[in-house]
Amino acid sequence: MGFAQLVIGPAGSGKSTYCSSLYRHCKTLGRSIHIGNLDPAAENFDYPITMDIRELISLDDVMEELGLGPNGGLIYCMAMEHLEENLDDWLTEELDNYLDDDYLVFDFPGQIELFSHVPMLRNFVEHLKRKNYNVCGVYLLDCQFITDVTKSVNGCMASLSATIQLELPHVNILSKMDLVTNKRDSENYLDPEPQLVLSELNQRMTPRFKKLNKSLIKLVDEYSMVSFIPLNLRKESSIQHVLAQTDNGIQYGED
Ligand SMILES: Nc1nc2c(ncn2[C@@H]2O[C@H](COP(=O)(O)OP(=O)(O)OP(=O)(O)O)[C@@H](O)[C@H]2O)c(=O)[nH]1
């Protein structure tokens, strides 16, 4: 039995920084951890990478050969059939390097298409499961983007879309909490009361959206997806708390 986290979230939400902190924290604890890079465009890492998708596909080559820009190139890299076909072989070979109890963390690119409709991520999860890995999804959202009710609902919907796509135990993280100057701005949305969110949403929008707002909040509430864990990397206890939550998620996947 192996254990893995898939680190996903919008571009710049702090995925690589989170991986780096998690790596350092686990090293301090003496816990074995390996970070895999799944971003064909990534360049700089401040932690050792033990698996690297750039061995399989290069964003520069795709951009040059197809005349695509960075975003189109990345989506092409992730969606192309070539990758789907080779991913299985590559992953099988890579996973053979790890022991049963090893803990793998995969850092994905931030293209939102990856966790909405491109099947690559889902196939990746299926592969890990076939290899007997318990997997947990970790979704990062930059706290700067949920300082009001519409952004907060938007963040919840994006995270919910990832959960549905992956069908995994799922931990939501509100990243970069050290940048929050007015704590109340984000605290209101860390574990909000659905009725309050609905009433605030209704106040912000014209009455014709009332029915839609009600359905949206009901949906988010029913999936229990409105909870985000705040992550302040200046506090060691914060990453420790996130690790405990992801361990729970992974454990939950075992049942
Ligand atoms: N203050 C602060 N800055 C952060 C934190 N996490 C990340 N950053 C900064 O946010 C920027 C983006 O962070 P990354 O870790 O590269 O984000 P990412 O999600 O991996 O980015 P992509 O892979 O491009 O999608 C960098 O400049 C980081 O230094 C945090 O907790 N606090």
**Rounded to the nearest whole angstrom, what is the distance from the C-alpha of residue 206 to the centroid of ligand 1?**
36
Question: Whose Cα sits closest to atom 12 in ligand 1?
Answer: 12
In the Cβ-directed half-sphere of 137, how many Cα atoms lie within 13 Å? 22
Determine the pLDDT at residue 199.
Answer: 93
Determine the pLDDT at residue 240.
Answer: 92
Separation between Cα atoms, residue 35 and residue 48, nearest integer Å:
7
Distance set, CA 94 to CA 46, 85, 126, 142, 202 (Å): 21, 15, 16, 31, 50
Testing ligand 1's pocket by substitution, the residue of 6, 13, 17 carrying the most ligand atoms inside 8 A of its CB is 17
| pLDDT tens digits, 48-92 | 999 998 888 788 888 888 888 888 888 887 776 556 667 778 888
**Which residue ranges make up each domain of the chain?**
2-182+228-254, 192-226
**Are 105 and 134 within 8 A, CB to CB?**
no
| pLDDT tens digits, 7-34 | 999 989 999 999 999 999 999 999 889 9
Q: What's the whole-model pTM score?
A: 0.89
DSSP state of 17: H
**Rounded to the nearest whole angstrom, what is the distance from the C-alpha of residue 13 to the centroid of ligand 1?**
6
**Are 121 and 139 within 8 A, CB to CB?**
no
Determine the pLDDT at residue 14.
Answer: 95
CA 253 to chain centre: 17
Contacts with 251 (C-beta within 8 Å, 6 or more apart), sequence order: 134
Separation between Cα atoms, residue 192 and residue 197, nearest integer Å:
7
Separation between Cα atoms, residue 217 and residue 246, nearest integer Å:
25
Q: Which residues of the chain have pLDDT under 50?
A: 255
Determine the pLDDT at residue 160.
Answer: 85
ipTM of this complex: 0.98
Residue 175: Cβ within 10 Å count:
26
Nearest to 123 by CA among 41, 38, 55: 38
Determine the pLDDT at residue 108.
Answer: 92
CATH 3.40.50.300, domain 2-182+228-254, yes or no: yes
Nearest to 50 by CA among 101, 1, 93: 93
Query: Which ligand 1 atom is the nearest neighbour of the CA of 42?
Result: 23
